[in-house]
Amino acid sequence: MRLREDEVRGGDVMSDARVIPFNPDDRGRERAAARAGAPETGLTDAVREAIGARGRVLDRKAAGALAFLRRRISGDYEVDEFGCDPDLADNVLLAPFRPLYNTWFRVETRGLENIPEGAGLVVGNHSGTIPLDAIMTMLALRDHHPEQRRLRPLGADLVFGLPFVGEYARKAGATLACGPDAERMLTSGELVGVWPEGYKGIGKPFSERYKLQRFGRGGFVAAALKTGAPIIPTAIVGAEETYPVLGNSRTLARVLGVPYVPLTPTFPWLGALGLVPLPSKWFIEFGRPIPTDQYPEGAADDPALVFDLADQVREVIQQTLYRLLMQRRSVFT
Amino acid sequence: MGRVVLVTGVARHLGSALVRELNDAPDVDRVIGVDVVAPRSDLGRAEFVRADIRNPIIAKVIGAAEVDTVVHLSVTSGPPGTGGRAAMKELNVIGTMQLLAACQKAPSLRRLVVKSSTAVYGASPGDPAMFTEGTQPKVAPRSGFAKDAAEVEAYVRGFVRRRSDVDTTVLRFANIIGAGIDSPVTGLFGLPVVPTILGYDARLQFVHPTDALAVLRRAATEAHRGTYNVAGDGILLLSQAARRAGKPTLPVAGLAAKVAGQFLRRGGLNLSPELISLLTHGRAVDTTKLKTEFGYTPTYSTAAAFEEFLAEVSPGPGLGLVTTLVNRAGSANE
């Protein structure tokens, strides 16, 4: 059964659990936790002092982890209609990618101030055989934007058909790349992420790195036009070099029913070790928003306008990519 | 002159509850309940006609009583009595055809309400997160109750074309969950261990019987043409629902579940292919049209309906100990 006393007593612990990763200078609460803990554990003040701040931090982490565990076991968390589970996404799903973001790729973000309040459509270039670029963009906005924005990526239907991948993609906040879902999210003020090159972009050979592929049918532009949400052209540099695709095993891809099977310098030759991405240096630049609310009603049904806007977005991203590449000293530093 | 309402499928919980509601409705003169078996509960002042809607006798009942409203509730997801899938299809599809044929010939008829299901949308990874009434399913349901419901709706569309003077309402209900409701989904949470599909976590939506009844009553007594989704707000994930029920989950590989389903059916558990596809891909519907056009906002959210349902079934023993331990550790830490 659900835990009734939780709602009365657990409130403080819950908020504690949530602020741990983001709010290191939380002194008041820390002291309160120490005070409450002292009589129960039976530690004297001297011992407690000896353990010091480190002990108190561990104490707080343990309390947070337990509160999290309790919520998970009792099912006492909210999931939105797309299947996004923020509690799980922040505490578990995104966690393993944080070291990758901070120390492996050393991602530098620019233009975070260009992210509008409320709804917006982040449109990025896609590369690197597995969508690490989408995950890094999510982290950039979640951990480094002052408002801790949650990016809601749109994924191909293949993603949601795959066991585990589809499940966790939804829980992390993704949904199917289709008009109704994009519009529903934008209407409710979400920040939606889309990589319109799709498989053509993410699976392209290394020789074509940083050359934007065709932008699908421009469905993302139509969704933005219908909802009046601004488009934020986003350039991601570094993802191309994580898994340089030298070849593509078409036969294997056909057998497995997937769009491509990449052959990289390390994969599949080194087996599981080949899955380790190269430690390229990353840049993510959010460009100035392109407004879409000045067009008349029904503009989304004008294919010429949709293609024009898609081209404009594509051009901005391509130019930004060239500029960032010029500024980059080397692939890895 | 007052109204005469005929309700099919009154032997089941929802049907008999609707009949009792209509008994008390001021503008309803006469209520006639029809089913193949006698209802378990008392129908009050309503008349019960033991008839099979597959039999042309239904036309005589409608004609003789000058029925002006037909509420068709007997399209069911549970296997009727002892019969298997064939009997269920027979009752759902052929029964509806006969009923609609009788309705078409009845000059007194003014209103038709058909209880359908959100199962008509199917469940696949290629579908949008929320189905609206106009969404075409990516993969049309190919078997079981979902296919029946889709076929029933097709016949109803045909009826609407031929009798455009009749106010026809099609109500697509999400899984109704509550005491006395016997469906594959309520059965699932009655098990000691809730089976889930390995690698998937379905989004589920529930309707509380109170809301289902209120919508049916309004549809039977007011004119609401068209098709409406009926579901509680929000969703629950299958794993989350199982945790709230305090039951452990048993992840089963999709293919194994299909094979096991064949054997388990004899053991009373109906793990049909359509239930498996629901448990794999999940399904959620948009209820904006119900709220704005039909004018009804469900009082129970999906989570609240589920909580009510849990209060009525016995809690599972499975996770009790773990919950207690975590709780104790938690309070020690605070």
Are A214 and A284 contained in the same domain? yes
Structural contact between residues B4 and B68, judged by C-beta atoms closer than 8 angstroms: yes
| A175 Cβ contact partners less than 8 Å away, ≥ 6 residues apart | A82, A83, A152, A154, A155, A181, A185, B129
Q: Which of residues 156-215 of B touch A (CB under 8 A)?
A: 198-201, 203
- Kind of pairing between the strands at A262-263 and A175-176: unpaired
* Facing A79 at nearest CB: one of B128, B237, B322: B237
This model of the complex carries an ipTM of 0.86
Chain A partners within 8 Å of B330 (Cβ): 10, 13, 63, 66-67, 70
Beta-carbon contacts of B277 under 8 Å, excluding residues fewer than 6 positions away, are B122, B123, B124
How far apart are alpha carbons B300 and B307 in whole angstroms? 10
Mean pLDDT of A180-197: 96
Q: Residue A253: its pLDDT value, please? A: 87
B333 — contact with chain A (CB < 8 Å)? yes
For the four alpha carbons of A84, A188, A98 and A160, in that order, the dihedral sign comes to positive
Q: B138 CB contacts (<8 Å, ≥6 apart)?
A: B122, B124, B126, B127
Q: Whats the size of chain B, residue-wise?
A: 334
The two three-digit tokens of residue A179, written as one number: 């008009």
Beta bridge mates, B176? B207
Domain assignment present for residue A94? The answer is yes
Using CB atoms, pick whichever of B242, B315, B326 lies closest to residue A70. Answer: B326
The pLDDT value recorded for residue A304 is: 93
Read off the pLDDT of each residue in A294-317 and give the average, rounded to a whole number.
Answer: 94
**Alpha carbon distance, N-terminus to C-terminus of chain A:** 53
| CB A126 within 8 Å of CB A212 | no
Q: Give the closest of B199, B240, B334 to A13, CB-based.
A: B334
Do A103 and A202 fall into the same domain?
yes
- For B225-257, what is each residue's pLDDT tens digit? 999 999 999 999 999 999 999 999 989 887 777
* Shortest Cα distance, chain A CAs vs residue B232, angstroms: 11
Residue A265: what pLDDT?
Answer: 86
Same domain, A162 and A227: yes
**Cα–Cα distance between A64 and A87 in angstroms, integer?**
12
* Structural domain count of chain A: 2
Q: What is the chain A residue with the closest CA to B123? A: A161
Tokens of A160: 């949601």
**Distance in angstroms (rounded) separating the CA atoms of residues B116 and B148:** 9
Same domain, A65 and A104: no
Tokens read off for B253: 């590989």
Residue A284 lies in a domain: yes
- Give the closest of A59, A80, A163 to B198, CB-based: A163
> Which residues in chain B are closer than 8 Å to A69, comparing Cβ atoms?
326
- Render pLDDT for A110-159 as a digit per residue (tens, 0 to 9): 999 999 999 999 999 999 889 999 999 999 999 999 999 999 999 998 89
Q: Tell me the pLDDT band of A23, cut-offs 50, 70 and 90.
A: very low
- What single-letter amino acid sits at B85? R
Categorise residue A51: left if φ over 0, alpha if ψ from -120 to 50, beta otherwise: alpha
Could you tell me the residue range of the domain that residue A167 belongs to? 86-242+277-327
Please tell me whether residues A48 and A163 are part of one structural domain: no
A207/chain B closest Cα distance in angstroms: 32
Element containing residue B257 per DSSP (H, E) = helix B254-264
Residues 6 or more apart from A296 whose CB is under 8 A from it? none
Give me the half-sphere count of Cα atoms (radius 13 Å) on the Cβ side of residue B183: 24
B334 CB near a chain A CB, below 8 Å? yes
How far is residue B217's CA from residue B26's CA, in Å, rounded to a whole number? 12
Tell me the C-alpha distance between B147 and A39, whole Å: 64
The DSSP symbol for B285 reads B
Torsion angle of alpha carbons B8, B131, B210, B9, nearest 10°? 10
Return all residues near B306 (Cβ < 8 A) that are at least 6 apart.
B177, B206, B236, B241, B244
H helix runs in A194-274, sequence order: 198-202, 219-227, 250-256
Residues A131, A162: one domain? Answer: yes
Q: Are residues A191 and A211 in the same domain?
A: yes
Q: Is the peptide bond before B315 cis (omega within 30 degrees of 0)?
A: no
Conformational region of residue A116, where left means phi above 0, alpha means psi within -120 to 50, and beta covers everything else:
beta
Which H or E run includes B251? strand B249-252
Strands A262-263 and A247-248 come out as: antiparallel
Domain's final residue, options A53, A74, A95:
A74
Tokens of A182: 């994009």
Which pLDDT does position B321 carry in this prediction?
54
Q: Is the pLDDT of residue A27 over 70?
A: no
The encoded tokens of residue B101 equal 């044929």
Query: What does the pLDDT read at residue A258?
Result: 84
A332 found inside a domain: no
Q: Do A49 and A109 lie in a common domain?
A: no
Backbone φ, ψ for residue A264 (5° rounding) = -115, 175
Strand locations in A162-205, DSSP E? Answer: 175-176, 191-194
Asked whether residue A257 is assigned to any structural domain, the reply reads: no
Do residue A192 and residue A305 come from a single domain?
Answer: yes
Task: Write down how long chain A is.
Answer: 333
Examine residue A333 and state whether it is found in any structural domain, yes or no.
no
Residue type, A210: Y
Chain pair A-B, CB pairs under 8 angstroms: 111
Inter-chain residue contact A176 with B128, CB threshold 8 Å: yes
Q: In the listed set A74, A106, A131, which residue is the last one of a domain according to the structure?
A: A74
Give the end of a domain, one of A16, A45, A74.
A74
What residues contact B226, with CB distance under 8 A and at least 6 apart?
B133, B169, B170, B289, B293
Which one, of B198, B128, B199, B204, lies nearest residue A168 by Cα?
B199
In a domain, A235, yes or no: yes
Which residue did the predictor score with more confidence, A38 or A196?
A196
182-201 of A, contacting B, C-beta below 8 A: 184
pLDDT beyond 90 at A18 = no
Q: Quick check: B243 and A70 CB within 8 A?
A: no
Pair A172, A298 in one domain: yes
Residue A248 belongs to some domain of the structure: no
Q: How confident is the model at residue A278 (pLDDT cuts 50, 70, 90)?
A: very high
The torsion angles phi and psi of A153, rounded to 5 degrees, stand at -75, 150
Query: Are A312 and A196 found together in one domain?
Result: yes
Q: Is the pLDDT of residue A297 over 70?
A: yes
Same domain, A20 and A113: no
> What is d(CA B204, CA B242) in angstroms, rounded to the nearest whole number?
11
* pLDDT value, residue B41: 83
- Strands of A156-257, DSSP E: 175-176, 191-194, 231-237, 247-248
As a whole number of angstroms, the distance between CA A138 and CA A149 comes to: 8
pLDDT number for residue A107:
96
Stated pTM of the model: 0.85
For A208-256, what is each residue's pLDDT tens digit? 999 999 998 889 999 999 999 999 999 999 999 999 988 888 888 888 8
Spell out which residues of chain A touch residue B325, defining contact as CB-CB under 8 Å: none
What residues in chain B have per-residue pLDDT under 70?
A: 1-2, 78-83, 261-270, 314-334
Whether residue A95 lies inside any domain: the answer is: yes
